[in-house]
Chains A and B, each alone.
Chain A
């Protein structure tokens, strides 16, 4: 059976129709992971037994002729910052090694209720801090299109697993582009919902005012289906929005006649030529179907990066204070209390996490609050106003997701170079807007390129509608990752339920 590239919709339909069983799909997925993932490195932990049990339950349900939930039997991977009951959750960090959570994240509860089969947890940059998944404390994840390239980050395990057919869909989190950028790098669809659209209950926090959970899928329709399952008000998250959730799949009408596409000049200044060409083809596809373009300016865009690198580290330094070795995770041997904190955190956190904790701690020092955090929040307001104004003239904004295609491992050794890779995706988080990355072509060397659509608050539907049109016109179609074609089946099986420990390979 070759179910690996079935869409979410297709998988659910085939299981419901009795063409296959949930268990068969689960076994096929696990089998493919066993062959491919030793090289790819997407999964940190597999829940084979749990997945089989869930699948068997779906099959029993179908046998009893009961109505099946919308994602019944669909194999799904979860970024390892999503808390899963009974299944190790590390957030890509050594400090949480061995922690088995006693509860499920809201999105995990919702996916299970929708019938999805949780296959396992996928790799990410430590605490979602990074843009290449190179900051994972456990192992690198490779880009299925070219194994010498990064899959993007921080949701790199999510994007690689979806692109390589190691699940039908995955969930990632996006704090400054961490869903959209890896989606673009791996040629999949990535949707960051409006801030508050999806509950953050059970999401290991990086920057609370920016974090949002969203789907990574192989097509726009699937993104709509998965978003449908996870969106909606949750009283456990006080920032969750109590707003109606539309039927997202209904948005995929293909009709963009009269849709006003905003093209902000600040996002078209510096990028690879291949990216410029591909994004232009996405614009052209929309225009060809009746959309109109609007040239506009988002004048405070250049301030997004510095503002982000104050707000995100400040909140991170606070959110990561709880990792002290007292109640869970790793604790270093120590002589006294202060020593325990220093050694536990010194050994448990990687260099990028430490860098951001230090940045954030510095920014929040007494007497510096006004100059840093408060100023950054004021910039956020200006950026929001830019968007509010822009959306008076357009319905959706289109930009490249990233200025370049996936880069080689080690290419961004300077942290600031890495930060600059997110320059197009940050403003969306600062403004709390929804953003979608949809593939719009390949570069000359065969790497995927993403177009980013930014929408009005709670208007994911319009993003999906425009994204569907781009996908139909200039998407990757049936083109599959080329890196895997040359892949020799690995004798090394993926580790079951326990995270792997492979060090980043120098042979990449």
Chain B
């Protein structure tokens, strides 16, 4: 028997087809249908009320803040927004589902036919979204030995479920989709999207087919994927599993599989035959969810420029590398900082330098002091001013780093620091010629060894001496030029 082929070899013949169902908790103060708080990490069952507990006689009242959050995502993904969408009850029995049904949306979801531009490498890949709908989260069940504990703090936390079309082609692409969605919902400030806290959760529908085949293969649904890394691992594992079954003449069973991150493998949870019939019913307790012009106007007016758009713009307009552009859009505050600094810079061409300074000096300092970019002691305009001072030769890049460091520490303007400490670069050839004369005169042996003895390495020694004399302020280009003249080679 031959050695099983590795994934890259398998993928020459087989094409994975992946669709994702992603749940995003929306960061509202209170729950979707009742006044309890949504905070994370409170003592079990402390964030409940008669509705959350599913007590007889309770009724849901929709929290309008949820709609605003969901609409931001709908608009940011260019989805069609339903003027009247409907809540539906999805029925199943489980102890962490207090009413015996989850209030969700079924055949009339809030958003349909959108797309997300996923940042992959230096470009964008458009992934179609079939729908984005609203629903309430269930509680959490923990099993301890023979006992099960139910915590209903999470029950009723607002969720959007984002469903992609089955057109993601690889595990890596699925991972990037998740990163892009994570970036977007944080960018829109509608979710913390912390996967460890379950604020962003992913189920993946995976199938494979021979390349060139039109029909989709039988799919398996992977559940319980709760980190970006696991998204890729779990899907890759599933692709290989399915190809191996098919290559050995087997058949894929339509089933739900649970990803076990510790063991790095999945196990069947339930097959389609055992699947629930959710008996969807339009919720008679809730009127249609109406999206009027006023709320849409507000959303459209306040929607920020999206990360994918900026990612593209930074590369095309400022010539920034894909990696740097991705870093800049990793967080909205960072991208906003960049845009503000560019706006404060007098030239159109300042972007690249500003990006360099941000990604090295600024991020380094922020990281070291654990400061969020929004609270940076060096304001965008300050950084832009510093970049200008380096660009116009007032100070060297090396001095610039010192000035940045001091400005970060004290909050002082770079020009003031330069003035106070006399750090202006010396570019005056007459003044530099005098200093060079002095340095060469004081080191006759080295001068002879360089000029006559051909010891090239000594040139650096003289540059160093000049810098020492000038506390690093000598213009390095002019200094080098004059030194060559003075030393005769």
Contact = CB atoms under 8 A, between A and B. Distances in A.
Contact of A327 (B59, B98, B101, B287): B98
Interface stretch (A28-36, A98-106, A145-153): A98-106
Interface stretch (B278-286, B388-396, B406-414, B437-445): B278-286
B150 interface: yes
A208 B59 CA distance: 10
A209 interface: yes
A314 B61 contact: no
A385 interface: no
Interface string B58-80: 11111000000000000000000
A185 interface: no
Contacts of B150: 326
Contacts of B100: 318, 320-324
A204 B99 contact: no
A208 B57 CA distance: 10
Contact of B280 (A204, A317, A361, A369): A369
A347 to B, nearest CB: 16
Interface stretch (A59-67, A235-243, A469-477): A235-243
Contact of B277 (A203, A208, A323, A366): A366
Interface stretch (B88-96, B160-168, B427-435): B88-96
A108 to B, nearest CB: 10
Contacts of A318: 89, 91, 100-101, 279, 281
B95 A103 contact: no
A225 to B, nearest CB: 24
A327 B57 contact: no
Interface in A462-499: none
B62 to A, nearest CB: 7
Interface in A194-210: 200-205, 207-209
B91 A321 contact: yes
A101 B55 contact: yes
B61 A105 contact: no
Contact of A315 (B56, B277, B281, B287): B281
B56 A91 contact: yes
A321 B57 contact: no
Given A91-B56, A203-B57, A238-B59, A322 B99 contact: yes
A364 B279 contact: yes
Contacts of A328: 53, 55
Contact of B56 (A235, A238, A322, A337): A322
A254 B196 CA distance: 70
Contacts of A99: 56
B56 A201 contact: no
Contacts of B322: none
Contact of A103 (B55, B98, B277): B55
Interface string A373-390: 100000000000000000
A326 B139 CA distance: 13
Contacts of A341: 93
B285 A103 contact: no
A96 interface: yes
Nearest to B141: A337
Contact of A322 (B60, B98, B284, B285): B98
Nearest to A326: B95
A315 B57 contact: no
B56 A236 contact: no
Contacts of B95: 324, 326, 337
A209 B98 contact: no
Given A327-B54, A327-B98, A238 B281 contact: no
Interface string B443-479: 0000000000000000000000000000000000000
A89 B56 contact: yes
Main secondary structure of the interface of B (DSSP, over half): loop
A239 B287 contact: yes
Give the one of A101, A203, A321 with max B CB within 10 A: A321
A164 interface: no
Nearest to A90: B56
Contact of A239 (B50, B278, B285): B285
A235 B61 contact: yes
Interface in A320-346: 320-324, 326-328, 337, 341
Contacts of B98: 322, 326-327
Contacts of B60: 238
A238 B285 contact: yes
Contacts of A82: 57
B285 A208 contact: yes
B56 A83 contact: yes
B55 A208 contact: no
Contacts of B287: 238-239
A45 B288 CA distance: 39
A321 B56 CA distance: 11
A285 to B, nearest CB: 38
A201 B93 contact: no
A365 interface: yes
Interface string A77-94: 000001100000101000
A204 B281 contact: no
Contacts of A105: 57
A102 to B, nearest CB: 7
Given A314-B281, A322-B99, A365-B277, A238 B61 contact: yes
B441 to A, nearest CB: 91
A99 B50 CA distance: 13
Contact of A205 (B57, B93, B279): B57
Interface of A: 82-83, 89, 91, 96, 99, 101-103, 105, 200-205, 207-209, 235-239, 314-315, 317-318, 320-324, 326-328, 337, 341, 361, 364-366, 369, 373
Interface of B: 50, 53-62, 89, 91, 93, 95, 98-101, 150, 277-281, 284-287
Which 9 A-B residue pairs are closest in the complex by CB-CB distance?
A: A321-B100, A364-B279, A209-B284, A208-B284, A83-B57, A202-B57, A204-B56, A322-B54, A322-B99
28 contacts: A89-B56, A99-B56, A103-B50, A202-B58, A203-B57, A204-B57, A205-B57, A207-B284, A208-B284, A209-B284, A237-B61, A238-B60, A238-B62, A238-B286, A238-B287, A320-B100, A321-B93, A321-B100, A322-B98, A322-B100, A324-B95, A326-B150, A327-B54, A327-B98, A365-B277, A366-B277, A366-B279, A369-B280
